[in-house]
Structure 1
């Protein structure tokens, strides 16, 4: 008879320890793709064994031992072992439990050489840098990071991004082959490369959180699991790289943004706009954590970076008692600084919104019209939606209706589309 709690234990241990397990295996095999495959094989063995025989006293050690033995067995099956594999097999030894061994026998002596407490942090950090290597396409980095660092299954990643599981699996397989072909070493990059490579890691975490906080498609406005995973990984990274200001800047941004999640969705799942949100529902603990991270970013750097500036903008919202009480002039200045540091059409669109609140819609409309003329956001519903809001405030309702109709056609999220359709209906009743 199987114990259903055994599968729950496997899932819990894997989510917590997967990065350390894959990192330790990658360090000792020197093969990132092999390490991930071995960890997955050990996970599959645990899903069979633990519900039947009980959860081991040291679950992570059990998984490591099984994976290690799978590695040695694989090396032995090869017709000709090279010297590197032979040395590895001798170093790792012969002891330990067999795959599916007794539940109380974790094999802690065996995996001690792998589970070196002094190397765990370096392993996880190396895992992040490897999974987010610039040689990979952005979609591949995201999928690989969620798989090997976050411990998510292919099904979970596919569900989060609303793509077929086969697509996610193909991206992960292709990413591992690309890393092998490019001979990317499993290591924390040398100091000279670290700043550039760190940007890729931060970018991946930001993309994951952004998709979670404002889902681009599907029925849910917020995908809490995805956003929460990005927050968790950002916290891990902040502990592993405590002297990097932009790491703390990103963490501050994620915490301050997530703090508003409880008020962003109504009882029926519909979006609640900022001016209508019940600010008493905002997560004050998350706001304090975000402010603390932002303070650390400010102390470590010579001025805030792009993520730190976005966090400072989020802080302006977090500390304001209402929309009218928000320091919009400061937000405009912060967006101007962000536009110089990391220019993008989305930043410029957000600046236009801030200008409209600080100086009125007539001052913001030329900014939006310039973006419209460039065509850089032609595929996004955000530009016509913002332009429609400005036109309403200026009393130009017929033009606003046209903009909202265009936004509806471009919007991929069901909840946001329904909100835009309500705006069109309201315009119809108010003339």
Structure 2
């Protein structure tokens, strides 16, 4: 059976970089740690630079970084880690909820033994509470943020000037008014006020609900997407899409980015990873905080969990790497190179554009955080709901249907 299991894992392509089984270093060289990540985008060099900086400052440890597509990691890593194989460290997904898959199989290392102050420890108190809460299950911290970002409002300065709008919107009311004013061309717009996506993306629509007190799932695990506040917000923005044509319905995240890059939309909600691409496309780019609604300032936080394999042969070194990665020195340098805010709230950000995203972190919320069924809730309930109501479905009825699906997934008996 052991031979068959090894052959199967070799076919998955992970045994070659495995260190969990004890393959690490000889007595004369540094301890070798393998790190598997899905950072294939334009920010990838910043992650490699951080690994290089760790290696340079820790001559007794050598971390090698293997980059693969997220979907490939999702297919390979669960089986590898569950059988004690695979990399010492990994970012298993861009979805924080993916950690539950590995916790259930007892595949990941609890990290609280490394908690403390200073760069030699994981200082959980310096990480936004929403993130540590999402990564803590049954009292155990299982992950640290590989990155951390909030979503801000991107806007085209030239389009705002042409429309006679002096500054980006600061309130929910101004946001709606500007989206309408910046939409031109009638039912078949030549310019959209905003580019909204509803699937295959970091979700934008929860922000529109949270701004005015709505939500998707409550603290008890029961659906709130069909509550009065939620339906009111959903109806407002669905009507803007259906009747005022402020955004095309049914866009993926890539679609929404393309529309804004092509200068066919005046606004978009997005994270720091998008800025450089928009500038290269020639957009006269402005970045501002998400407008504030009746519920106060809020936005979506985005983070990828960074975890250690329970069966790593080098536990102390793996914890040392995670502690350093989340320390002040590493996070300050990573922010400069990546354009992301630091994954800590105790650092000052000098870059004005990055500072906008950093300013949003204290009030940012993770989408469906702490819910084991988060991925299914998104794909089976929430994304379909937004797709339906922006194409004409009645909002309350659609939200009630989505709520039943959510409660079935969470086990809520209400």
TM-score for both structures, normalised by structure 1: 0.23
TM-score for both structures, normalised by structure 2: 0.24
Point out which structure has higher relative CO (alpha carbons under 8 A, 6+ apart). 2
Pair member with larger Rg: 1
